[in-house]
Amino acid sequence: MTENVTSLKKKAHDLVQKGRLESALKIFSLVVEEDAKDASVHNKIGDILLKLKQDEKAKEHFLTSANLYSDEGLQMVALSICRKIIRAFPNEIEAHLIMANCFSQQDKHEQARKEYVSYLKGKPSLDLPEVAGALKALTVLDPESPKWVNNLAKVAYKQKNEAFLDYAVSVSMERNLPELEKATQMLKKLQAKLHPAPRKKPAKKKPSAEKIEVDSSALLNNLSFDQDDLLQDNSKASDDVQLESLSEFLKKPPSTVAAEEDLDDLEQDAVTEKNNLSFDRSDIQKGRSESSDDILKDITRDDDEDWSMTELENTGPQRIGEYFVACGLLKAGDVLKALEKQTEGPEDARLGDVLVSMNLVSVRQVREALSKQVADMRNRLERDPGDALGYIEMANLLLDVGDFYGAVGAYLRAAEIYRNDERDYMVFELLEGVLDICPESLSAAKEIVRIRHTIDKEGQSRAFYRLAVAYLLNDSQYEAIASLEAAVEVCPDYKDALELINGLRPTEHSEVGVTGVADILDDIDNIKMDTSKKALADIIMEFKQGVDSSITNEDYATHFDLGIAYREMGLLREAIQEFEKVLVSPDYRIKAREMLGRCTFDMKRYDEAEDHFRKGLVLASTVDNKSSIVGFHVNLYRVYDFTGRSGHAEAEMKLAVELDPVMAKALQLE
């Protein structure tokens, strides 16, 4: 069956290449019948349907594909498909929900919060359990705002979800929210509905004629009946009493008046304020599919702007001068004098240096104050992980205390936040600064190339030039040449790129056509441009063609073994290609991440190695694979130790030893 499906896929792909979309669609549909959980096929069907102008069907397959990839743990792929959905269907809110769930699994809390809010802004039906789930997630992601807890209580009450309503009450109690009493009342009423107590038949008592003649309009405004006013009877009261029959209801003889419990239900349907709910009467009529206009009315387009302003207005940590004043080491007047002197000096003058030059504090005291400032900033960013300006400030502080790699990491985090906010101009400027102080950062260089279309031609050429420099500093000459060629292609007059490429490109380049076979030469590490180069490249290409023709993409075991063989032969790039092919397999995903990290570490691409080890650690922690967790901690120790981050290295080794001291020591000696 697997061979049949594989051949069908190949045939369908060939038909797509030939432009026979309808025929390809029929074959892909057969594949889906055989395997309904093939995410890649659903995505391909969506692409075809979109070209055939069958938008609704295309959207359905895209959403299915995104959900399947997310369930398989491939959040990055799921996010890419969701972004494609939103581009094609801007009003499709389910894509925002999938993205929110993916970001949550990646521990990207700020992005998750924004996507949950976008989902709720789309006004989904309040009957959907996903609405309650989104609100519950927001109570955790945005703990400072009480509106998520309050709206969760309302939605849970409407959906008769006792567990979620009980959770809302618990959170309200923990956070001492003013709506606690209302939420508690709703919980009690819901419990009374879901778990009704057996009725006791009270003794009949003749009501007062005066009370029966009470004005019905007053009762409509305040349905607070005394026990003596109403008598229970064996006749069953209707749960669906309508407002328009209330006056007739009150004129009935006492023997037919509903019991107090039924009046309580009527009260809930008739008087919104008595419920403490913000629903309109039309929104709680039975049988209507509600929208979230009323419950989530406080989630508006201004919401994100308000939150952004709140983040910018956050006072943040104390400045270094404030530390010294608070500790009693300096007087406020001394700090003001130092600030005046700082403004008169060079633009890059730091207050700590000025204080030292004025003999007010020592260098050691400045460093201690900076360390305290860093600790406070870390705590602040843990509470508000989406504060881009905070990460920039953190990076500047880390540079002051000499944590070079930590500063670069903070700058990259700020760039990631700006990029998610689609503020690419900020990303470009920030990454330019990062590369000024850390030109070997491939992560920063690749990111700046990704956003090159937002800048002018010269800026695009400079982005490729930056990437080439980063490759050179990571001993990747041929990738550097390819990047420089791209820089010259974008802007032929860019002198820096022209000079560097002429200095790098060997004389044999034009003769053997290195540009045309760059993908072959990139598979070989540290190959010298001699007469044996082309022969070796031809041998590798012939071997690759034989392998590709005999191994299917789904044969993950063979691809993994082949990657191991390539690595042992020193063909690290070829090994990376094989390991990347098995990342989709749950059985090999963790091992493939480890090998990808080792290959990039061997290639001295330390930032990429760290990224692979971090991702592998998350995967191993998800399935509680203790041995793999220890291994990833040890590998991260190697990366940090080799790049001079001794503090980080010690922390990783400590975690590994705590889990399994014997294995940790053994892996360290490898």
pLDDT tens per residue across span 447-456: 778 777 767 7
What whole-number percentage of the chain has pLDDT above 90?
2
* Closest C-alpha to 13, from 34, 39, 40: 40
Burial 402-438 (b: 16+ CB within 10 A, else e): ebebbbbbbbbbbbbbbbbbeebebbbebbeebbeeb
Q: What is the mean pLDDT of the chain?
A: 72
Residue 139 has phi, psi (to 5 degrees) of -65, -25
Confidence of residue 595 (pLDDT cuts 50, 70, 90): very high
How far is it, in rounded angstroms, from Cα 319 to Cα 312?
16
Residue 2 has a pLDDT of 52
More confident residue, 131 or 367: 131
CATH 3.40.1360 assigned to 315-521: no
Confidence of residue 227 (pLDDT cuts 50, 70, 90): very low
* Residue 17 confidence (pLDDT) above 50: yes
Rounded alpha-carbon distances, angstroms, from residue 343 to 318, 349, 503, 585:
19, 8, 44, 59
* Residue 662 confidence (pLDDT) above 60: yes
Residue 55 has phi, psi (to 5 degrees) of -65, -45
In this chain, the answer to whether the domains covering 315-521 and 551-668 adopt an identical fold is yes
> Can you tell me whether residue 654 is helix, strand or coil?
helix
DSSP state of 26: H
Give the count of beta carbons closer than 10 Å to the beta carbon of residue 446: 16
* Residue 222 confidence (pLDDT) above 50: no
Burial class (CB in 10 A: 0-12, 13-18, 19+), 496: middle
* Closest C-alpha to 142, from 173, 164, 166, 114: 114
Burial class (CB in 10 A: 0-12, 13-18, 19+), 352: buried
Q: What is the CATH number of domain 2-194?
A: 1.25.40.10
Residue 312 has a pLDDT of 27
Residue 98 has a pLDDT of 92
The tokens of 136 are what? 């519950």
Residue 299 has a pLDDT of 54
Residue 197 has a pLDDT of 66
Confidence of residue 97 (pLDDT cuts 50, 70, 90): very high
More confident residue, 281 or 112: 112
Given a contact cutoff of 8 angstroms between Cβ atoms, the answer to whether 578 and 559 are in contact is: yes
Residue 40 has a pLDDT of 80
The tokens of 444 are what? 């920063």
* Residue 624 confidence (pLDDT) above 60: yes
The pLDDT tens digits for 385-425 are 788 788 888 877 777 766 666 677 777 778 778 777 767 66
Domain limits of the chain?
Answer: 2-194, 315-521, 551-668
* Residue 181 confidence (pLDDT) above 80: yes
In the predicted model, what is the mean pLDDT of residues 292-309?
45
How far is it, in rounded angstroms, from Cα 309 to Cα 297?
20
The pLDDT tens digits for 39-72 are 888 888 888 888 888 888 888 988 998 888 888 7
Q: HEC profile for 173-185?
A: HHCCCCCHHHHHH
- By mean pLDDT, which of 93-107, 486-500, 534-548 is the weakest? 534-548
Give the count of beta carbons closer than 10 Å to the beta carbon of residue 166: 16
CATH 1.25.40.10 assigned to 551-668: yes
The pLDDT tens digits for 312-341 are 233 334 467 777 777 777 787 888 888 888
Rounded alpha-carbon distances, angstroms, from residue 230 to 160, 192, 222, 225, 239:
28, 20, 15, 8, 17
